Structure formats: C-alpha cells, structure tokens
Amino acid sequence: MPRLIADRPAFSRSAPARSATVRLIMGLSLCLGALLAWILLMGHTPGEDPKPALNTQRAGLDVQRTDLNAFPGGPEPGSSIRRAAPLSCLSYAPYRRTGDAPWHADRPIRPEQIRADLTLLQPLTRCIRTYGVEHGLDAVPAIARELGFRVKLGVWIGGDAVGNERHLERAIALARDYRDVVDLLIVGNEVLLRGELSPQGLVRLLDKARSANVAPVAYAEVWEFWQRHAEILRGHVDVVAVHVLPYWEDEPVGVERAVEHVQAVLRTMNDVFAPLPVWLAETGWPSAGRQRGSAVPGIREQTRFMRAWLEVAPPDYNLIEAFDQPWKRDLEGAMGGHWGILDAQGQSKVSWQGPLAPNVDAAALINALLGGLVGGGVLGAFMARGRGAQSATPSAWIAVGLLAGACLGPLVVLQIEMIALWGRSAMELTLGSLYALLGLATTLMALAFALSGQHRHRLVIGIGVLLALTVAQALTLVLDGRYRPLIWPILIAPALGLLLAWASRMRGREHGAEAYGAEGHGAEAYGAEGHGAEAYGAEGHGAEGHGAEAYGAEAYGAEGRGADLRRTGRAMPFRPELGAVLILLLAGGLAVCAVTLVTIEGLHNTQAVQAGLAWVLLAVGSTLAQRAMNRDAIHAHQETSHQPVIHAQPPSGA
C-alpha cells in the first residue's frame, strides 16, 4: 500500500491577522472617543442662557429667597410667597394613571382622585380648564368650589349627535348650579380640525349654549381654523378661544422664537376678531418626543418656554397642561403624553430658577459606558477561551471586547429609553426590544468577523433582516412620520461594526494575497512546479497512481472537498450569493430614504440628521461588509482549490 505524503504551503496568516486586529482596535478607540465627546457635549449645561431665570416680580411672585428649584412642587420652607399661584390657568384632565383614558366609559374617575389632583395644583394655579363632563368629570365644579378654583368648563363635541346633546345639557346644568365657579363655557375642542362636525352643526350647538344664558360661551380651536371660519363663527360666541402651539405648527417654530410667535398670533387674532375678546386657550411645550423642524421637545426646552412666557404673559391665558397624559401617546405619539407641568406621578418637571437642566443625563451614560466596559471584557475573555482563540490572541479578544462594550453601553441605554418612551403596548415594547437585540447581535457578529473571519453566513442573515426592518421603518417615516420616532442609537452600533469589519478584513486579505503570491503558492506556481494534471501524467502519476482512492471522496471528503474538484484538478467557479444582491438593493433603498427624510425635515432637524446619518452608515457598512465577505469566500475557495498535493510513494524496500 503506497504512503500518501502532503506538500503543504508554508503560508502563515499571523502578520496580516495582527495588522487587522490593530486596525480594529484603533477604529473602536476612535468610536469610543467620539461617543464620549458627544455625551459630554449633550450633557453640558451652559453657564448662561437667554432666559436663565424667571423674573419673579413680573410673574407675580414676591419671595425672600431666590432658590425656587423645588417650585412648583410647593414653596420651600422659610420662603414667603404672597401670590402662591402664578399661572393664570391650566388644562386639567385626570387621566394620568396607567390604564386611564377618556374612552374607558367603564372606568369613571372618582371624586377622590380629582380632589387629590387639584390639591397638587394649588401652588401652581387657581384656575383649571376641563374638556368634558362625562366619566365622573361632572364632579369637578363642586370640588373646585371647595378648594377655591375657577373653572373654564369644557363640553366634548364629536361626531355623535346624541352624545353631543347629552354632554351639552349636562354642562349647562353644571354652569347654572355653579355660577360662582364656572366663568366660561367652552363648547367643543378642535372639532373642526378633526373634521367630526361641520361649522353649521357647531353653530347650532353654540347658539343653544348661549340661549341658556348661564355663562359666556366660547369655542376652542387652533388659530388657523379660527381664521378660516371667522365669518361663520364670530357671531355665535362671546369669546374666541384660540390654541397657539409653536411645536405643532405646520411650519414648526423653535423654542427660541416660540414666545414671540405666540404673541404675534394673538395680535393678529385680536385684529381679526375685534371687538370680541380673544383668549389664549392653549399654549405650551412638550418635554419629550421627536423633533419637528427646529422645534426640539425636552424638559430643558419646556422650562425655557415657560420662563420666557411668564415674563410677557397677559393676565388671562391657559397653559397646556397640568399633568402628563400617557393615553395621548396612542393619538399623538410620545410627545402627546408629555405636555404637563407635572409628570404623571405628580412630580414637577419645570424649574423656575437656576441653570437649565440638560436633556441628556451624562452621568447615567458614563455609568453605562463603564458597565459596558466590564461586560465587554468578560465576553472577550470568554471568546478567547473558546473557538475564537484559534484565530486571534486572547489579548486581542479582550481588548476588542472592552472597547466594543464601552461603545455599546451608552447606545443601548439610549435605545432602551427610546423604547420606553415610544412603546404604547406590550406588543410594541416587545417588537422594539427584539429590533434592538437584532442590532446588537449584528454588531457583535460583525466584530467577530472582523477579528477572526467567523460567523460569515450568520452575519449575512443578520444584515439582511436588519436592513429589511429598517427600510420598512424608514418608509413609514418618509410617508407619514408626524407621530413616529426617529430611531438612531441602536443603528449606529451595527453600522460602525460593519465598517470596521470591512476595513479589517479587506486589508487583511490584501496582505494575505500578497504573501501567498510571494511564496509561490498561486496557481501559476503550482503549474510551474509540475503539480498540474499534465505533469502528473508525465511523471507516471496517472490514474493508477492517483486514482479514485487517492483523490476521491475517501482522501478529501472528510475535509469537505467534493470528488468533482479533485478529479478535474480545477476549482469550481465562485458564485455570489443571492444575499449579496438583496443586501445591495436594501442598502440602496435605505440610502434613498435617508436623503428623502433629511430633505423633508431639513438640516436644522438634528434628530432627522442623526437618523439619516445612521441609515446611510448602515447602508454603506452593509454594502462594504458584504464585499469583504465575498472576498473572504473567494479566497477561501481559492485556497480550497490549492490544497496540499498528495504524492504516492511505494513502501520502503519496494
């Protein structure tokens, strides 16, 4: 039986592998530095602000101490507040607890809850505006009388004609019984904007309310619709109640110009409707949600708006609103539920004195960075002990794990906050979490591929699914993004991971190809040394010497090299995977969506720019990483076609 002796190429990957690892570590270090700079910049509180503090005298406060950071939760011990309610009026709805909503007729609001809410509002105002009299809200006037509040009593008007009549009759009766409390009857709220009633149908209800002669009658609507229907409505109300919300304008107004915008609209409305009195029935600013144009929601911006407004506010106005209303997220996205001066737990969000708090909690993100550092180091050590140790040194795995974990920690925290803010149901929270986990898994696979070349096929699947879901989300934002989030944190991680994978693997492969060719292990070298089919035949190594037993499945099958490859002596042609084409198409679509989004929102919308940049980076990273994986597959195929040549030698002594 002849012995089989293998001639193996002397090529070693150690040098290019070390070079790729160094590049990967350098790239992660740059990403970490950029992330740290962003955290420190966004979490920094400037020393000065155009409206650094409220002028307490002009706002109606006379205090011995200027430290009012605890206000409006209540005056600090030792302070003397002669006018303890500086806000003219606040919109009030009691649906601030989990599960509460105005459409839950089977869950009426208890009087004890209303009393507790109004007690919390006493340091803020002595006036509330309501929006309905159903679901237990008809108890508001009695409790308001008890606690010393005035009431702008609202009647909810919609598309139900029978319900409209019932609500109006009940409101008229309450206004008659509590004339000392109810100083305005507001029939309808933005019903023309919603398109649920015609102007003529609204006029009929307004006339009925006025004929009862129990209180002045108003209709509350956004100012543009008041202008549009001025001639129809002006003769049927005693007060023109207008809503001016700079954030929700068709052309959103940034917080730095918001107060001026409100004042300008009020001047215009007074000119249009004189001599009717014009009452500002709603104005305010959201503390959370997505950016619209230059209008950025946030606690910092809400505080800035409130301080600036109280400097110039007229004697009678209404702010929206007293408490955050979680149920409004179902109708208006995350920002709909965050207009309150107090949050849903009754805690103050607005501070009237002191520096403006940043919207980004830098300390929490730094802690997340440190936590990611520890977690990444542990994961890197685990990989170093496993299969990864075959392709990279333990120190390389640990270094990459530390840096990657430090980068991922803050991004994961930002994404969790976004999921909690926008998730309106268990299903949405679950889907958002799965999407975030997919982005995280794709990032880790990209880094593993960059370091070792492993997980190539899994990475293709991860990229494809992530791109498909992101393109679907991007299309909804481009087509109808008014109430949808601009997601970017969890996409930055896989985008940068894929770019680093491409940079590491492509350079490593170039070095590998050069070394392989230099040592004479290319196809030409094999032919020149007589290892081609003709040379084997000439030297007598034909079918008898190297037949099926030597070159067939028994010799090479165990290593996964089919009989066809060795019988022909030629490499099978490499065929690009279908996944590569799909990834290219999805990446192109995502890039188009990114450009469209930024064009629609404008460059001044930083959240849209962040989302668009994340989409572009993900599209480019996916395309380049797919190219690197294709190159990897081609090189692996070429190496397979140049496996060690097996020579048959007769037994010694033959």
What is the C-alpha R_g of the chain?
Answer: 35
Q: What is the rounded distance in angstroms from the CA atom of residue 513 to the CA atom of residue 143? A: 83
Q: How far is the C-alpha of 91 from the C-alpha of 95, rounded, in Å?
A: 12
DSSP 206-226: HHHHHHH-SS-EEEEEEHHHH
pLDDT at 26 (0 to 100): 80
What Cα–Cα distance (Å) separates residue 5 from each residue in 357, 639, 642? 75, 19, 15
Buried b (16+ CB within 10 A) or exposed e, 144-175: beeeebbbbbbbbbeeeeeebeebbebbbebb
On whether the CB atoms of residues 342 and 322 are closer than 8 A, the answer is yes
Tell me the C-alpha to C-alpha distance, in Å, between residue 544 and each of 138, 189, 532, 539, 648: 103, 96, 16, 12, 10
Q: pTM for this structure?
A: 0.79
Cα separation, 447 vs 439, whole angstroms = 13
Instruction: Specify whether the CB–CB gap between 311 and 54 falls below 8 A.
Output: yes
pLDDT of residue 639: 65
CA-to-CA separations, 192 to 188, 220, 338, 608, in angstroms, rounded: 9, 10, 24, 31
CA distances from 292 to 82, 178, 224, 345, 608 (A): 39, 42, 19, 27, 9
Q: Which residues contact 194 (CB under 8 A, 6 or more apart)?
A: 158
Q: What is the pLDDT of residue 574?
A: 45
Mean predicted lDDT score pLDDT of the chain:
81
Range 584-609 average pLDDT? 93
What secondary structure, in 3-state letters, does 330-358 show? HHHHHHHCCCCCECCCCCECCCCCCCCCC
Q: What is the distance between the alpha carbons of residues 417 and 427, in angstroms, rounded to a whole number?
A: 17
Q: For the chain, what percent of residues have pLDDT higher than 70?
A: 76
Model confidence at 650, in pLDDT bands (50, 70, 90)? low
User: 496 and 618 in contact (C-beta within 8 Å)?
Assistant: no
Confidence of residue 47 (pLDDT cuts 50, 70, 90): very low
Q: Are 485 and 422 in contact (CB under 8 A)?
A: yes
Phi-psi region of 136 (alpha: psi -120 to 50; beta: other; left: phi over 0): left
Q: Which residue did the predictor score with more confidence, 155 or 533? A: 155
pLDDT, mean of residues 389-401 = 78
- Identify whether 577 is preceded by a cis peptide bond (ω within 30 of 0): no
Chain centroid to CA 450: how far? 28
DSSP string of 28-72, one letter each residue: HHHHHHHHHHHHHHHT---S--SS-S--TTTTT---S----TTTT
Q: Hey, is 163 helix, strand or coil?
A: helix
* Arithmetic mean of pLDDT, 439-459: 88
Domains (range + CATH), the chain: 19-42+361-514+572-643 (no CATH), 90-336 (3.20.20.80)
Residue 224 scores a pLDDT above 70? yes
Q: Tell me, what's the pLDDT at 240?
A: 98
